[in-house]
Amino acid sequence: MRVSSSLRRAEPGTRPRFRRVLTAVSVAVLAAGVVVPTAVAVESTPSPSVSRSTEVDVRPTAPVTMSPSASASASASASVSAAPSATVVASTSPSQTPTVTPSPDPTANPGEPTVVAIPKVVGPLASTKKSHPFGAAKFQGVPENLQKKGYVEEEYIISGAADVYDWPAPGPAVVRTTDAPYTTRILVRKPINGRDFSGNVVVEPMNPSNLFDLNIGWAMMNRQMVENGDVWVGVTVKPVSIVALKKFDPGRYGSLAMANPLSLDDPLNCQVTGTDDRASENGLAWDIISQVGQLVRSTDARNPVRYGAKHRTEEVYGFGYSQTGGYMYDYINGIRPLAESSPGKPIYDGYIVAVAAGAFVGNVPINQCATVPPVTDPRYQFSGVGVPIMHVMSQSDYLIGIAGRRPDSDAPIDRYRQYEMAGAGHATPDELNYAAQPADIIRAGQPVPPMSCNEGPRSRFPSHIFFDAILRNLDEWVRKDIAPPHGSPIVVVNGAPVTDQFGNVLGGLRSPYLDVPTSTWFGTSTGASFCFIAGHEVPFSASALAGLYPSHNDYVKKVRKDTESLVSQRFITRSDGEALIKEAKQSDIP
């Protein structure tokens, strides 16, 4: 199925080959929020038969090509060596003196879970001609009219006290420093009328990998959220994003701070790397995530999602993507056991952990002076969490993160699904289309991330078709105990993906883009910034398309059949399925 006709065409089966050596630096930057120079991130040798449309693969060998019939017996197991642990450190002086406890004994009792406090709330902040929220829908890369969708956007300043943790061993984290003050912001998109509110709230720690907030969860799932009446809450959770916000609008965001509670001469204070600053502390994020979850599910008058007694929050879901997917590993395994909404009740009723696993940001440092554990550590797996987890990887990152694979489970204490999105890239156009407009990014002191790589535009594979269904299925699992479908992993043999005659991977979450193909889809590219995880496509030539599809009606019929099957299996929502069929009808295939 075609997404773009503006790219160079190639005969199906002409699969450009690249070998990629992914250094520990290029993986660690996702956690540190550093843009990687191409020279550091990529080492590759192009095939002499292909001059331009080439792929950078995170695999040790060239792909194995199999026919679909042969793929059924292919092993889906593989191993990828872990990148070395990266040390990320930091500290600073606060405006007030918090309680400091000594570095914990790894065998110490981490303590009993406690009911989480509700932060102070100021707002909603006014949006005027001179001042608007960073990342506001009206000022996105592609502006969005929320009012036409029956939604409203509001921004609030929240403040409270957060602990800083150490995590010396698997199990709950332990408190290092207590009651450090913080002030941050939340961006809320919600139905205008309470009667349209589903009762669901999705809380997203906004991704800071480009050194400013990206609301990727909204980009990926807004279609399902709006259709269902869900609320989305984006949270600024990293000091580097606060720096950008203050540059963007000092008057609006001047009070924001995640100050390091340790003095500069404290022995627990340490030198920092990358974009971290000793004046701030990344490790305040965990209690912020808990407190925002507690806020939006409360009946407190401060709750921005409060519509009244008839329309209250019922379920709260946590979402993290890439770096903040790594945040979800730390939060779920280290912090969640310590945080309750009320005695015996969790803050979050389920989680979507996206494009983070194993050596690919499967953990982030719990504080700025901490290191991540080795990839063989149990903290890189989810087990016995007590609420459902939907874990999603893309074609860009599944091999690096393969150590995060584990079997699905329907056990009440261990509800888990793992999905790998065949054809989908990690760094997508949508994450920038739904981000702050270029002028606002520049005003925030950051460069505008590129939409194209050496091979052409970032892959326009519509990952949202999977995320919409994943959110819908998570909600049904939580509310109705309807288990989601099981997805097959992308097929891997001897550390390499297995591809079909068109050069597309076998296995994984399927779609008409691979089952009724008009292009070869790659998970990686070459170029600046995050091109190493931005996929691209190589459309088939006109003669190849004519050979595959005798007529336009034949093509549409095949897309319809494939789509209806995926909808019936609940891998794609009905609305997205209708959109896929409409797109096929409007195409010029063959």
Dmax (CA) of the chain: 74
Phi/psi region, residue 45 (left: phi>0; alpha: psi -120 to 50; beta: rest), is beta
Provide the pairing of β-strand 315-321 with 536-539: unpaired
Spatial CB neighbours of 176, under 8 Å, sequence gap ≥ 6: 100, 101, 103, 104, 163, 164, 165, 166, 268, 283, 367
Residue 374: what residue type? Answer: P
What is the number of residues in the chain?
Answer: 590
Task: Show the CA angle centred on residue 369, arms to residues 260 and 354, nearest 5°.
Answer: 95
By C-alpha distance, which of 25, 167, 101, 60 is closest to 402? Answer: 60
Residue 301: what residue type? Answer: A
Count of Cβ atoms closer than 10 Å to residue 562 Cβ:
23
| Alpha helices (runs of H) in 452-511, residue ranges in sequence order | 464-480
Per-residue tens of pLDDT for the chain, all 590 residues: 544 333 334 444 444 333 333 434 344 445 555 443 333 333 233 332 333 232 323 333 345 454 433 433 343 333 333 333 333 333 333 333 444 444 444 334 456 899 999 999 999 999 999 999 999 999 999 999 999 999 999 999 999 999 999 999 999 999 999 999 999 999 999 999 999 999 999 999 999 999 999 999 999 999 999 999 999 999 999 999 999 999 999 999 999 999 999 998 898 888 777 888 999 999 999 999 999 999 999 999 999 999 987 899 999 999 999 999 999 999 999 999 999 999 999 999 999 999 999 999 999 999 999 999 999 999 999 999 999 999 999 999 999 999 999 999 999 999 999 999 999 999 999 999 999 999 999 999 999 999 999 999 999 999 999 999 999 999 999 999 999 999 999 999 999 999 999 999 999 999 999 999 999 999 999 998 899 999 999 999 999 999 999 999 999 999 999 999 999 999 999 999 999 999 999 999 99
Place of tokens 């961006």: 187
Provide the pairing of β-strand 231-235 with 64-65: unpaired
Dihedral pair phi/psi, residue 337, rounded to 5°: -65, -15
Q: What is the DSSP string of 169-229?
A: SSSS-EEEEEEEEEEEEEEEEEESSGGG--SEEEEEE-B-TTSS-B-HHHHHHHHHHHHHT
Rounded to two decimals, the pTM is: 0.85
Q: Whole-angstrom Cα distance, residue 255 to residue 266?
A: 25
Helices then strands, counting H and E runs in the chain, come out as 15, 20
In the structure encoding, which two tokens stand for residue 514, read together?
């691979």
In the structure encoding, which two tokens stand for residue 283, read together?
């490790």
Assess contact for 440 and 139: CB atoms under 8 A.
Answer: yes
In the structure encoding, which two tokens stand for residue 353, read together?
């952990």
Distances (CA, A) of 134 to 280, 439, 444: 21, 11, 9
Residue 102, Cα to own-chain centre: how many angstroms?
34
Assess contact for 42 and 57: CB atoms under 8 A.
Answer: no
